[in-house]
Amino acid sequence: MVFSSTLFLFYFLPVFLILYYLAPAKFKNYIILLASIVFYSWGGPLFIFVILFTTALDFILVKQIEKSSSRKKKKIFLCISLFVNLGLLFTFKYLYFFTTNIDSVLTLTGVAPIGMDKLILPIGLSFFTFESLTYVIDVYRGEYKSLKSFRNYLTYILLFPKLIAGPIIPYNKIAHQIEGDRKTSAEMRLSGLLRFIFGLSKKVLIANVIGETVEELYKLELSQIDTAIAWAMSVGYTMQLYFDFSGYSDMAIGICKMIGFTIPENFNFPYISKSITEFWRRWHISLGNWMRNYLYIPLGGSKGSFFRTYFNLWIVFIISGFWHGAGWNFILWGAFNGLFLMIERLYLSKYLKNNLAVLYTFFVANIGWVLFKNEDMNVALMIYKKMFSFEFNSLQILDFRFVIMLFFAFFISFSGLFKSFYSATQNDETLFVEHKWRLNLLFTLSIIFLVLSSSYILGQDFNPFIYFRF
């Protein structure tokens, strides 16, 4: 069940909200938990048992970590938890990748391959594994206390708005809210709903519309396309990915707000960044934070030698790439971004001060997304070749709808360059206190967008969520 489906939008969400608001305060978490179990088991009816098992195990292990007085015991319980969580992630997500690669080598050496069928990836596995780890590690480090109630811990892991595509919420950011310390107000409910509708529109009206044409272009004979089409494919995907994922994050944040949760932002106009370093502070912020706090810093961060620091940076980006998918393209994409980060850190950053740097960042990110999109490296290489061959001979005429929506996508993506617009989007509270007309305008727009999004959900079949497969 995706957020942009009829079932979710017109049945699940309104019914859930009504039940939630009608329920007495002490039962609200039960409603959330029940809705989350229904939501997850709808898409992964078997995997719900896996997630329930690991969650229960983590809860017990964390209690043991907290109870244990010796450092050694704490470490053992931590290792068991890491082994189970990462083992599960490895089995479902990476085992097939490693097996096929080993098989390739074995075949070359004349040895019989191992052979294995691809396993179905439980939805959201990468996201809830990382969240579970934050809980275990935070308690192990002694930074936070464990949750008293298993129900509350289960609610943290299963909280359906963020369960399958993030944002990745560290335990310490949400624990107190789950335990009841969350404010609900009419402002919050309304701003959450508006945020949800704007996210839905970004996903349905922009990402889906652009994505449909991108997929059509990818069906063309790649040897026949010219430079203009190759760029349309790559830039189209760059925008599709951003509006798809940020739209989803907006919807998740919006739903959470409607039920009183404040969760971290995941995007902040990434395409207006003046460097790749800045880009990664603005794109999938929750993953970046996780990588910094739970991988980069434990590896030594920038406190070690010159080479160690750069090694740490690069390895974090390679792992980050690999987190997105079990494929060489994702590893290369991570390495590609890590490389630019190092180059910028070494000497490029001093040149990246003016607005031209925005073009540089967009260009590099766009080149990177070609790798990200294409698991088949031959396809990626062919597109690169066409992008830089400067041949303009194709008879393919770009769809007018694609061009218009791409224009809108650019306009919205770069609107953060205007200071007044940027500051207006940084704090939802300004919606209600600064300008009355702004709320009325957004309310009217949200109604129009809801009708338009609904008509596009029902009127066309193309409705994938790119980040669901991660």
Partner 1 sequence: MKQKKYNIMFGFIIFMMLFHFAFKPLNLIKDKELAGFYKVPEKVEFNSENYFSRKFQDSLEKSINYQFGLFPGFTRIHHQIEYSIFNRIHVKDVHNGQNGYLYRYCEGCITNRTFDSVYLDMYLDKYLIVQDSLKAAGKNIVWIIAPDKNIVFSEFLPRDLKHGVEVYSFYWSLQKAFKRKGINYIDFNELAFREKKKYAFEVFNKGGVHWTSSYAARCFDSVCKYLGTKTNIKIKNVISNKKVEHPWGPDVDMEEAANLLIPLQQDRLFLSDMTSESNSKNRKLLLIGDSFAHSWTWTKYYANCFHPQSEFWYYNREANTLENTFIRNVDHKSARLKTTEFDTFIIVFNAANAEYLDYGFIDDLHR
Q: How far is the CB of 320 from partner 1 (least distance, A)?
A: 30
Our finding on whether 462 is near partner 1 (CB under 8 A) is no
Which H helix or E strand runs over 419?
helix 419-426
CB of 37 to partner 1, least distance (A): 14
Question: Helix, strand, coil % (nearest 5) of the chain?
Answer: 75, 0, 25
Q: Tell me if 9 contacts partner 1 by CB under 8 A.
A: yes
> Which residues ranging from 212 to 251 are in contact with partner 1 (CB under 8 A)?
none
Euclidean distance between CA atoms 172 and 175, whole angstroms? 6
> What is the closest distance, in whole angstroms, from the C-beta atom of residue 151 to partner 1 in the complex?
25
Instruction: Tell whether residue 18 is a contact of partner 1 (CB under 8 A).
Output: yes
Q: In the set 89, 136, 193, 200, which binds partner 1 (CB under 8 A)?
A: 193
Q: Is 284 labeled as catalytic in the residue annotation?
A: no
Backbone torsions φ then ψ of 155, nearest 5 degrees: -65, -40
CA distance 272 to 416: 7
In the set 172, 184, 425, 454, which binds partner 1 (CB under 8 A)?
454
Q: Which stretch binds partner 1 (CB under 8 A): 26-34, 161-169, 226-234, 395-403?
A: 395-403
Alpha carbon distance 47, 53 (integer Å): 10
Quickly list H helices, 44-170: 47-67, 71-89, 95-108, 125-140, 150-158, 160-163
Q: Is 417 in the site for partner 1 (CB under 8 A)?
A: no
Q: Is 450 in the site for partner 1 (CB under 8 A)?
A: yes
CB-based contact 59:139 (threshold 8 Å): no
CB of 45 to partner 1, least distance (A): 5
The residue assigned the tokens 């406190």 is 303
**How far apart, in whole angstroms, are the C-alpha atoms of residue 426 and residue 406?**
24
- DSSP assignment, residue 461? -
Stretch that binds partner 1, among 190-198, 216-224, 289-297, 300-308 (CB under 8 A): 190-198
Nearer to partner 1, 265 or 399 (CB): 399
Q: Work out the number of other CB atoms within 10 angstroms of the CB of residue 118.
A: 11
- CA 372 to mean position of chain CA atoms: 14
Q: Is 186 in the site for partner 1 (CB under 8 A)?
A: yes
Measured from the CB atom, the residue of 17 and 84 that comes closer to partner 1 is 17
**Contact at 8 Å (CB) between 211 and 368?**
no
Catalytic residue list? 324
Name the site residues for partner 1 (rule: CB under 8 A).
1, 5-7, 9-11, 13-14, 17-18, 42-43, 45-46, 185-187, 189-190, 193, 197, 397, 399-401, 404, 432, 443, 446-447, 450-452, 454-460
